[in-house]
Structure 1
Amino acid sequence: MKLIYAQLLLLLSLPTLAQNYVSVGSNSPTPSSGNTLIGLSAGNFSMSGVNNLMIGAGAGTANTTGDFNSFVGNGTGNLNTTGFRNAFFGDGAGNRNTTGSYNTFIGMLAGFFNKGGTYNAFVGYEAGNQNTTGNFNACFGYQAGYNNMIGDNNAFVGYQAGFNTKSIQNTFIGSQAGSANTGGSSNAFVGFQSGRDNTIGVSNAFLGAFAGISNTTGFDNTYLGSNAGNRGTTGTGNTFVGYGSGVYNTASNNLFVGNRAGYNSTTGSNNVLIGPYSGTALQTGSNNILLGANTQPTSGAIQNGVAIGSNATVALNNAIVLGDHTNPGIAVGIGTNAPQYPLDVRGIIRLRNSGTIKFSHLLNPNLREGATDQFLTVNAQGETVLARYQLRISHVNEWSDNVFTPAYSLKPLPAVEQYIQQYGHLPDLPSAEQVVENGVDLAKMNATLLKKIEELTLYSIQLEKEKRVLQQNDQKRQMDLQHQQNRLDELERLMKQVLEKK
């Protein structure tokens, strides 16, 4: 230190020379203009590069044509020959750099083996130590990106972050984040040991301490939260958000959101679990949707199950459950925001393709298939079926039996004919226009139609009586005619006898 301090004092006391260079130290050359060389063997006797700053024993010893470099520290940029616009600070920083340019290495042995890599920034002890030809890398922290050799466009921040990475376009921030990564690309790991064991997995985003720590070859995953996807190794296309979400899952295409959501899921795929502790009982089941805090399957192998609502559970494959079945106050509304019943519908329910509504545990044990005044009824199996429809009336006066009483006044047929000619329909019946406007009361309509049938019956009885009278009269006339014919025949015989006697 005393020697370097003395050299710096000497440097400050030297006048500006015509060639504009300064060389201080044993074996330091007198190179081309604009260079400042301080330290044992700093710079090169045959160096033609200009505007370099080399301070420290062996700093830039092999430099020939490299320009605008700053090497500060023993052995910094030792083998640099033509590399330019580099800044190496720290003993051994950029020691093996030869042609690499636009690099910034700060820290002891930072970028030590870099040769032709360009536009790199390595800050920290042995940061980017093994980099040789990798470009556009940023490694900040003790041994960050240590073994990266040819990888490009990486950003490693933290103790041993990206320690073994040799690939491209990764961003690792946090102590040991992505430290085992070798060939994985386009990954972003942020947090202590996040993505630590990733080797060749690509396009992953892990945020949080231990997030995706065990992932090795999985790709297209997004884990946000401490321990999210912690034990997953080969899963792909998963999104886990929340502490401990998807910890053990190794499958694909799952979405877990919430504290410990899908915590015990292992090989299940295509699941959507949203809510704290949602789906913690799910293990191998796939294609499930669980929405709400602590929504669960009753079996870890449930398939295609849907449970919606806090504490809702689904017990069967291919089933949909709304609400906690243990809560008697659950009400589901369709077309209403204030449902009053377990299922409250404002609108039309349409059933197709032989669909039916089935009831069980009915409160009325006597309700069964049979005659009813409803269009639908329930059979013995609890299935909704079309009823044998039966109209009901509340009083005998609503029916048409009065037509057959002596007091009933039956309209003469000529009067009925006149009414039809005038109004175009039978008396007591509505017109088509009235039906279109007001509809019909089926009970009243049936009573009126029966009335017309009964009136037709009375008309038929009258006609039958008249027919019998006519038949009787005709029979009497026939008898009278026969009697007259007999008398004529007798007269004709007598006259014939008289004529024969003459």
Structure 2
Amino acid sequence: MKKLLLSILSIISLNVFAQPDVKFNITSDWGTGYCANINITPDQGYDDWEMVIKAPGGINSLWGANSVPIGGGEYKITPSPWKIPIATPFEIGFCGGGSSSDIEIISQSFTPTVTEVISEEIWIGENSSAYLNTGKEYYMVGINKDEPEASLHVGTNTSATSTSIVIETEGSDNAEINFQSGTGVSELNFQNGDLSDISSLTFSKNDNGATMSFYDKINSEEVIKVVDGSLYSREVVVQTDAFPDYVFSSDYNLASLSEVEASIDSLGHLPGVPAAEQVEEEGMSLSQITTIQMEKIEELTLYLIQQQKEIEALKKELNNLKK
């Protein structure tokens, strides 16, 4: 991979390194003292800033920032910790002694929020994949979020249902999302509008292979777990469009037991049931196996009823012979 050099980088850099609009004005002057304002209008976000103000008569009070005397009647002005980064207009006010005509802004320096991203670390890979490196241990990027709370925070500005992220590939390429964890598990969390957890999907690795778990965080319980191809759950609800009560219909064609025996001899399995080889190769849905098993149970019930009737008839005939 090589560092991307763009002809427009200089234009972008001009915007990145542009200084905000700074206006200084005296609000009151009584000869032996004064009060003044410094109005700052940023043209973008800034991570930090500082000014040096010359005030030979001293600064008696200052609000909206911090001041430190550095000698020679000069003061270094820096932002309050809770007021950075900045991206909106703000005002600094101060009062001091002496003549207002002696007040002067010696220097000013503003550090743009995106300086190090744009000017130093934009990379492009062999497959045109872009990488951003801020040089910081931890950095957060927001899309439609001016105060991101994660490494990547994507928001939407509409109350209607909308898609926040689309992953699209062309041709036969696969659309993939990779979760890479350190020593822990990979977890996908689902939250409500008030940021309370609803559920989570976790993936982990153990001696038996991969494990996937679905947690109900409202009731604090694991509801689904998949381990080494086996699914664990308290209950599975299967929906089907045709349940075999049709077996009890008067027009149902119930095969005779001799026909069933012939099918078993010919096919090696019950009629209407897939062969073992087919199930082993293709699998079988819960809905399908449940329906087939219920059909066979109901057919077996009909056979038992028939046999019971035959038994009762034979008993009656036997009793008549005994008389």
Relative to the length of structure 2, the TM-score reads 0.38
Q: Which has the higher helix share?
A: 2
Q: Which has the higher strand share?
A: 2
Kindly name which structure, 1 or 2, has the bigger radius of gyration based on alpha carbons.
1
Relative to the length of structure 1, the TM-score reads 0.26
